């Protein structure tokens, strides 16, 4: 990642131009050609610095429900339980964290009822204690575009 | 967006939530795949950005690879009547990317959640300590992720 790559990532993180020739528009801003923008983005994506380039939808606006869940999973059941949880396309994030509730994951599904079914299925399949289900009741901030810090 | 989505709109969502093609006219290519013109795609995307259906349109980066080495899930136990005030105050901090109120649960007596980003775990602790003083909320704890089991973007209308 050189200086131009950093500017490119910063530029494209918050605002992908919604125009006919978006890469040309970005190139105009950075003083490089459309071809160079495309080539650089291809390389940055291959390196893994960019996970995905596209739209993030508001699950609520699409009629979906979401929640944050936590489970207490003993070490000997961890691998199997994580496999059960991760098998759902509805689970987008799943982390081990330093607490009695050591597995934290998010669930997005077409309805609250479906979330309840998924959690019951996970509990039954993995044979674990009840999962705590913590749907957000108020949203104060949802922000994903943090500035690029150069190391 | 309260009305029902059409089949074409659902197909367009499936395309937009995947990777935008690295071609000179990506919206024309997406349109071709779903039976819309480039202009129709651009108009629809603009409308969805405007009404908040699309929260964000751009690149998703790996924070850990771009300088933010540590992120902590901070959980706060705040009296319910102060939850909104403290939630707004936590959300105002530049180091906080996400902030929510959530119900308490068995063995989990915290009602506010704020994701704190820093260069190191120590920095996250310092940020939380400073926030605790600033917002006047004493009871909190930081949970760090010790392993990432899964991190993907949601794929809608796939089930």
SS3 A48: coil
* B69, part of any domain: yes
Strands B96-101 and A138-142, how do they pair? antiparallel
Same domain, B30 and B83: no
Is it the case that residue A103 has pLDDT exceeding 90? Answer: yes
State the pLDDT at residue A146. Answer: 46
Residues 44-83 of B with CB under 8 A from A: 45-46, 48-49, 51-63, 65-68, 73, 83
Indicate whether B22 and B92 sit together in one domain. no
Within chain A, how many helices (H) and strands (E) appear?
5, 6
B156 within a domain of the structure (yes/no): no
| pLDDT for the residue B152 | 87
DSSP string, A119-139: HHHHHHHHT-SPPEE---SEE
Chain A residues whose CB is inside 8 A of the B22 CB are 23, 38, 41-42, 45
Residue pairs between chains A and B whose CB atoms are closer than 8 Å: 237
The CATH-assigned architecture of domain A65-133 is 2-Layer Sandwich (3.30)
The encoded tokens of residue B112 equal 């506010």
Nearest to A100 among B17, B84, B107 (CB): B107
Q: Is the pLDDT of residue B21 over 80?
A: yes
Strand, helix or coil at A90? coil
CATH number of the domain within which B78 lies:
3.30.70.3460
Query: What's the pLDDT score for residue B71?
Result: 85
- Six-digit token string for A98: 């330093």
Task: Find the domain containing B38 and state its range.
Answer: 7-50
Which three-class secondary structure state does DSSP give residue B8? Answer: helix
User: CA–CA separation, B63 vs B53, rounded Å?
Assistant: 24
Distance CA A94, CA B150 (A): 5
Report yes or no on B72 lying in a domain: yes
Is B32 in CB contact (< 8 Å) with chain A? no
CB-CB: which of B22, B101, B119 is closest to A38? B22
Where are chain A's structural domains? Answer: 3-47, 65-133
* Total domain count, chain B: 2
Confidence label for A104 from pLDDT (cuts 50, 70 and 90): very high
Considering the domain architecture, whether residues B136 and B73 belong to the same structural domain is answered as: yes
- Considering the domain architecture, whether residues B87 and B138 belong to the same structural domain is answered as yes
Q: What is the pLDDT of residue A144?
A: 58
Q: B105-140, pLDDT tens digit by residue?
A: 999 999 999 999 988 999 999 999 999 999 888 799
Same domain, B67 and B133: yes
Residue A14 CA to residue B99 CA, distance in Å, equals 19
Cα–Cα distance measured from residue B143 to residue B39, given in angstroms and rounded to the nearest whole number:
46
Do residues B68 and B46 both lie within one domain?
no
Q: ipTM above 0.85?
A: yes
CB atoms A54 and B57 under 8 Å: yes
Do A131 and A69 meet the contact criterion of CB atoms below 8 Å apart?
yes
A35 pLDDT tier (thresholds 50, 70, 90):
very high
Q: For A53-80, how does the pLDDT look when each residue is reduced to its tens digit (9 = 90+)?
A: 999 899 999 999 999 999 999 999 999 9
Residues B84, B38 share a domain = no
């Amino acid at each position: 990642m050189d200086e131009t790559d950093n500017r490119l990532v910063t530029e494209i993180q918050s605002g992908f131009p919604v125009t006919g020739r978006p890469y040309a528009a970005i190139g105009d801003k950075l003083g490089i050609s459309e071809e160079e923008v495309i080539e650089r983005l291809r390389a940055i994506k291959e390196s893994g610095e960019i996970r995905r380039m596209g739209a993030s939808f508001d699950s609520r606006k699409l009629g979906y429900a979401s929640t944050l869940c936590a489970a207490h999973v003993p070490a000997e059941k961890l691998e199997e339980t994580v496999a059960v949880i991760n098998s759902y396309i509805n689970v987008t994030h799943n982390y081990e964290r330093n607490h009695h509730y050591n597995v934290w994951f998010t669930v997005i599904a077409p309805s609250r009822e479906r979330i309840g079914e998924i959690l019951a299925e996970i509990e039954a399949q993995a044979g674990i204690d009840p999962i705590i289900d913590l749907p957000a009741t108020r949203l104060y901030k949802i922000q994903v575009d943090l500035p690029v810090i150069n190391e | 967006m309260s009305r029902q989505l059409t089949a074409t709109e659902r197909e367009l969502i499936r395309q937009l939530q995947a990777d935008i093609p690295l071609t000179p006219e990506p919206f024309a290519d997406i349109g071709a795949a779903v039976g819309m013109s480039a202009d129709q795609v651009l108009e629809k995307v603009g409308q969805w950005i405007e009404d908040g259906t699309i929260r964000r349109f751009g690149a998703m980066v790996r924070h850990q690879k771009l300088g933010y080495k540590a992120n902590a899930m901070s959980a706060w136990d705040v009296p319910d009547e102060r939850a909104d005030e403290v939630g707004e105050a936590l959300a105002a901090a530049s180091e906080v990317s996400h902030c929510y109120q959530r119900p308490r649960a068995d063995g989990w007596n915290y009602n506010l959640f704020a994701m704190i980003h820093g260069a190191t775990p120590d920095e996250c602790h310092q940020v939380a300590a400073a926030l605790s003083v600033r917002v006047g909320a004493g009871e909190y704890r930081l949970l760090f992720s010790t392993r990432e089991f899964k991190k993907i973007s949601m794929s809608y209308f796939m089930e």
